[in-house]
């Protein structure tokens, strides 16, 4: 069995914690580990799982790589497949299926979203083991979550009454998100399940059904895969070819049309963590019905989700609210209107504001930087460089930089000079001079950077050399 993790989403409904450059799958929302870590652990818990791979995009590839380094099979290459453009789940899964079929013609693939919660891993593993029997007999298995409420935020799967061998049920229909009355009727009917977005099938069977129902998608994916190239630990398919692919989900492209679809009931504490109210429902509530994370004080507050990333958050006399504090944004919302968070994100995009895309701390393949202060002609950053890592050789047209080493040691390239700096030492990079910052040590390098100039945007970078093959 080959686990395939889909990690291309942006998670806008959990803004401001989830942002485009660092979305919810990389956040510790349910436990002390990220949702992607939890997903990888679930996949590793399946006894027959022989390989792990993740499908992601250019922007998130190094964050995914850092997660995967913690989960075995270090020598396995090509575990990270890069989509040059997003085309939804049907093409993404096809790329993974093509890879698996080459290595293992009879291989079964377990497809998992990277940003869901499953609280009972043992029940999940048992369901996968049952589903594997159906998959090896040629069925395309989807996991249907046994509903616990008349939820209007999920799509549903209606099962036929007849049970197949192994406990799987023939799929009668896939149903869009219902209104409240319809959702209640689904709950009472007993033959409807929440659509989890998790699948289990042989790679060859999925490709055969995709060719039958959406041959155009498969043709483009095959050509893009044949033109692939390796880039360090990543596999890049042809952008020029893949960009021609229609955008479609696996449900619309295959599962709603195939005669091989079966649904396996899953009762394992599943949540898609689709909005802030999902987290409130998922986590333990105190005597007032509140979920509290971080430094929070409440007085006469009920049925609310309160989350502080750093500063003290004090709430008085509010009910049914979501209040989330980060170092640059505070969100206050009625708990019944948290789906409208995406409208705020759309406004931020339209106004070209960075808050929809970046946190104040921005992750890079070499480490991270964090904005500390900014005005019209200067800004101050804290730069953290991982041991052995190095920034690109670069220059700027519009700004100069002052670097002060706070901890660790730094190798600084400035023009033709190379200097070793230690704690409390500093250097100056004039405008237009090529430069590079590296960490030759075994502990993290911390640098305070002061930028001055007429333009301080991140796009004022001309790269000459880069260890991470960034443009």
pLDDT digits (tens, 9 = 90+) for 256-298: 999 999 999 999 999 999 999 999 999 999 999 999 999 999 9
Q: What is the pLDDT of residue 69?
A: 83
17 shares a domain with 138? yes
264 shares a domain with 286? no
Instruction: Tell me the C-alpha distance between 170 and 173, whole Å.
Output: 9
223 shares a domain with 194? yes
Residue 203 lies inside a defined structural domain of this protein: yes
91 shares a domain with 197? yes
pLDDT, mean over the chain: 93
Domain count, the chain: 3
Calculate ∠ Cα 208-163-264, nearest 5°. Answer: 60
Q: What is the pLDDT of residue 75?
A: 42
Residue 377 scores a pLDDT above 90: yes
H/E run at residue 395: strand 393-395
Q: What is the pLDDT of residue 74?
A: 45
Q: Which residues have C-beta within 8 Å of that of residue 49, sequence separation ≥ 6?
A: 1, 2, 3, 43, 110
Instruction: Say if CB 442 and CB 377 are below 8 A apart.
Output: no
Instruction: Tell me the C-alpha distance between 49 and 73, whole Å.
Output: 12
Instruction: Count the Cβ atoms, other than its own, within 10 Å of residue 112.
Output: 26
Beta-strand relationship, 321-325 and 305-308: parallel
Residue 349 lies inside a defined structural domain of this protein: no
The pLDDT confidence band at residue 163, using thresholds 50, 70 and 90, is low
Residue 113 lies inside a defined structural domain of this protein: yes
Q: Residues of the chain with pLDDT > 90: what percent?
A: 88
Instruction: Tell me the C-alpha distance between 435 and 393, whole Å.
Output: 6
153 shares a domain with 80? yes
295 shares a domain with 195? no
- Kindly tell me the sign of the dihedral angle through the C-alpha atoms of 410, 414, 419, 423: negative
Last residue of a domain, one of 271, 289, 322: 271
Domain that holds residue 288: 280-341
Residue 159 lies inside a defined structural domain of this protein: yes
Q: What is the pLDDT of residue 161?
A: 76
Q: For residue 400, which of 447, 456, 466, 360 has the smallest C-alpha distance?
A: 456
Query: What is the number of residues in the chain?
Result: 471
Q: What is the pLDDT of residue 233?
A: 81
Write out the two tokens for 297: 């004080």
126 shares a domain with 152? yes
pLDDT tens per residue, range 288-336: 999 999 999 999 999 999 999 999 999 999 999 999 999 999 999 999 9
Looking up residue 435, the CATH number of its domain turns out to be 2.60.120.10
165 shares a domain with 286? no
Residue 165 scores a pLDDT above 70: no
255 shares a domain with 301? no
Residue 213 lies inside a defined structural domain of this protein: yes
Q: For residue 83, which of 96, 65, 71 has the smallest C-alpha distance?
A: 96
Residue 471 lies inside a defined structural domain of this protein: no
Last residue of a domain, one of 271, 294, 328: 271
Write out the two tokens for 387: 């041991």
Write out the two tokens for 123: 């029940």
Total H helices, total E strands in the chain: 11, 30
Instruction: Count the Cβ atoms, other than its own, within 10 Å of residue 386.
Output: 16
pLDDT tens per residue, range 398-432: 999 999 999 999 999 999 999 999 999 999 999 99
311 shares a domain with 244? no
Residue 166 scores a pLDDT above 80: no
Half-sphere exposure of residue 288: CA atoms within 13 angstroms, side-chain side: 18
Q: What is the pLDDT of residue 76?
A: 55
Q: Which residues have C-beta within 8 Å of that of residue 103, sequence separation ≥ 6?
A: none
What separation, in Å, do the N-terminal and C-terminal C-alpha atoms of the chain show? 36
Instruction: Say if CB 347 and CB 341 are below 8 A apart.
Output: no
Detail the DSSP E strand segments found in 134-259: 140-145, 156-159, 169-175, 192-202, 229-231, 234-236
Calculate mean pLDDT across residues 181-202: 95
pTM comes to 0.91
Instruction: Count the Cβ atoms, other than its own, within 10 Å of residue 293.
Output: 18
Please provide the DSSP assignment of 40-54 as one string.
HHHHHHSTT--EEEE
Half-sphere exposure of residue 90: CA atoms within 13 angstroms, side-chain side: 25
285 shares a domain with 267? no
Instruction: Tell me the C-alpha distance between 379 and 354, whole Å.
Output: 15
Residue 181 lies inside a defined structural domain of this protein: yes
Q: What is the pLDDT of residue 77?
A: 53
Please provide the DSSP assignment of 107-129 as one string.
-EEEEEETT-EES-HHHHHHHHH
pLDDT tens per residue, range 115-147: 999 999 999 999 999 999 999 999 999 999 999
**Phi, psi values for residue 186, rounded to 5°:** -65, -40
């Amino acid at each position: 069995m080959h686990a395939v993790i889909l990690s291309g989403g942006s998670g806008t409904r959990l803004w401001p914690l989830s942002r485009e450059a660092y979305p919810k799958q990389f956040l510790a929302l349910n436990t002390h580990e990220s949702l992607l870590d939890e997903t990888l652990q679930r996949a590793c818990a399946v006894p027959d799982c022989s390989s792990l791979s993740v499908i992601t995009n250019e922007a998130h590839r190094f964050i995914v790589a850092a997660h995967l380094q913690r989960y075995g099979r270090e020598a396995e290459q090509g575990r990270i497949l890069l989509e040059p453009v997003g085309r939804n789940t049907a093409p993404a899964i096809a790329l993974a299926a093509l890879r698996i079929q080459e290595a293992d013609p009879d291989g079964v693939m377990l497809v998992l979203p990277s940003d869901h919660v499953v609280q009972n891993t043992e029940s999940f593993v048992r369901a996968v083991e049952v589903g594997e029997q159906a998959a090896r007999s040629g069925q395309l298995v989807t996991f249907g979550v046994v509903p616990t409420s008349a939820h209007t935020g999920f799509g549903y799967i209606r099962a036929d009454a007849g049970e197949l061998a192994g406990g799987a049920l023939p799929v009668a229909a896939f149903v869009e998100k219902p209104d409240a009355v319809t959702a209640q009727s689904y709950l009472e009917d007993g033959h409807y399940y929440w659509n989890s977005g998790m699948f289990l099938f042989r790679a060859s069977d999925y490709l055969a059904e995709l060719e039958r129902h959406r041959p155009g998608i498969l043709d483009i994916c095959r050509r893009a895969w044949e033109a692939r190239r390796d880039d360090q630990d990543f596999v890049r398919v042809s952008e020029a070819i893949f960009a021609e692919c229609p955008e479609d989900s696996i449900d619309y492209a295959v599962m709603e049309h195939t005669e091989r679809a079966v649904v396996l009931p899953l009762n394992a504490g599943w949540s898609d963590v689709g909005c802030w109210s999902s987290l409130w429902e998922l986590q333990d509530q105190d005597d007032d019905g509140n979920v509290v994370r971080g430094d929070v004080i409440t007085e006469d507050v009920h049925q609310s989700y309160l989350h502080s990333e750093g500063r003290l958050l004090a709430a008085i006399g509010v009910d049914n609210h979501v209040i989330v504090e980060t170092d640059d944004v505070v969100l206050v919302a009625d708990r019944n209107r948290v789906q409208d968070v995406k409208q705020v994100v759309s406004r931020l995009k339209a106004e070209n504001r960075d808050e929809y895309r970046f946190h104040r701390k921005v992750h890079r393949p070499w480490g991270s930087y964090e904005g500390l202060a900014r005005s019209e002609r200067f800004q101050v950053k804290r730069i953290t460089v991982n041991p052995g890592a190095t920034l690109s050789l670069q220059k700027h047209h519009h700004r100069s930089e002052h670097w002060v080493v706070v901890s660790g040691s730094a190798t600084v390239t400035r023009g033709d000079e190379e200097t070793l700096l230690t704690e409390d030492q500093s250097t100056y990079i004039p405008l237009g001079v090529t430069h590079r910052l590296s960490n030759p040590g075994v502990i993290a390098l911390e640098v305070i950077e002061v930028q001055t100039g007429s333009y301080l945007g991140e796009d004022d970078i001309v790269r000459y050399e880069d260890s991470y093959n960034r443009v």
